[in-house]
Amino acid sequence: MTIESIAFLEIIKLSFVLITLFVAIRLSVYLLKRMWQKKKYKLIWTPIDFIERRSNLSYDEFVKEYVSVGKPVIITDVMQDWKALKKWTLDFFKSQYGSIEYLVKDDKKQERGIMSIADYIDYMNVNDGEDRLYLANWVVSYYPELLEDYKEPVYFPNWFQKLPRKVLQKYEYDNPEIFIGYKGTSVGLHKDPSSCAAWLGLISGRKKIIFFTPEQENFLHDGKVDAFNPNLENFPLYTKAKPVEVILEPGEIIYIPPDWWHQVENLENSIGMGNLFVNEWNSELVFQSFAEQNFIKGSLLPLILEFPWLSKFVLAVGLL
In a domain, 306, yes or no: no
Cα distance between residue 152 and residue 129, in whole Å: 35
Q: What was the pLDDT predicted at 272?
A: 95
Q: What is the pLDDT of residue 126?
A: 80
* 193 plus 238 within the same structural domain: yes
In the chain, the largest separation of any two C-alpha atoms, in whole Å, equals 90
pLDDT of residue 25: 62
**Which H or E run includes 277?**
strand 270-277
Cβ-contact 132, 107 below 8 angstroms: yes
Long-range contacts of 311-320 (CB under 8 A, 24+ apart): 311/163, 311/164, 311/167, 312/164, 315/164, 315/166, 315/167, 320/167, 320/170
Contacts of 317 (CB under 8 A, 6+ apart): none
- What contacts 265, CB < 8 A, 6 or more positions away? 184, 185, 186, 187, 207, 208, 209, 228
In this structure, are 79 and 196 located in the same domain? yes
What does 166-192 look like in DSSP terms, one character per residue?
Answer: HHHHHTT----EEEEE-TT-EEEEE--
Q: What is the pLDDT of residue 32?
A: 60
Residues 116 and 24 in one domain: no
Q: Is residue 238 located within the same domain as residue 150?
A: yes
Q: What CATH number is attached to the domain comprising 128? A: 2.60.120.650
In this structure, are 13 and 104 located in the same domain? Answer: no
Report yes or no on 309 lying in a domain.
Answer: no
pLDDT < 50 positions in the chain = none
Judge whether 212 lies within some domain: yes
Same domain, 19 and 159: no
- Whether 204 is in a domain gets the answer yes
| 7 & 82 share domain | no
Same domain, 119 and 8: no
CA angle, 107 then 108 then 110, to 5°? 105
pTM above 0.75, yes or no: yes
| 3-class secondary structure, 142 | helix
Closest CA to 53 of 252, 212, 215, 205: 252
Which pLDDT belongs to residue 28? Answer: 60
**pLDDT computed for residue 169 by the predictor:** 78
- Whole-number average pLDDT of the chain: 85
Cite the beta strand spans of 48-196 per DSSP E: 53-54, 73-75, 101-105, 111-116, 134-139, 177-181, 186-190
The pLDDT score that the predictor gives to residue 163 is 83
What is the model's pLDDT at position 219? 96
Domain match, 6 and 136 both = no
pLDDT of residue 207: 97
Residue 121 lies in domain: 44-295
Residue 18's pLDDT is 57
Residue 317 lies in a domain: no
Question: In 10 A of CB 181, how many CB atoms?
Answer: 25
Query: Strand, coil or helix: what is 229?
Result: coil
Residue 308 lies in a domain: no
Q: Is the peptide bond between 258 and the residue preceding it cis, with omega within 30 degrees of 0?
A: no
Q: How many domains does the chain have?
A: 2
Range list of β-strands (E), 207-269? 207-212, 244-248, 253-256, 261-266
| Residue among 205, 235, 228, 270 at smallest CA distance from 107 | 228
Q: Are residue 96 and residue 147 in the same domain, yes or no?
A: yes
State whether 33 and 88 are in the same domain: no
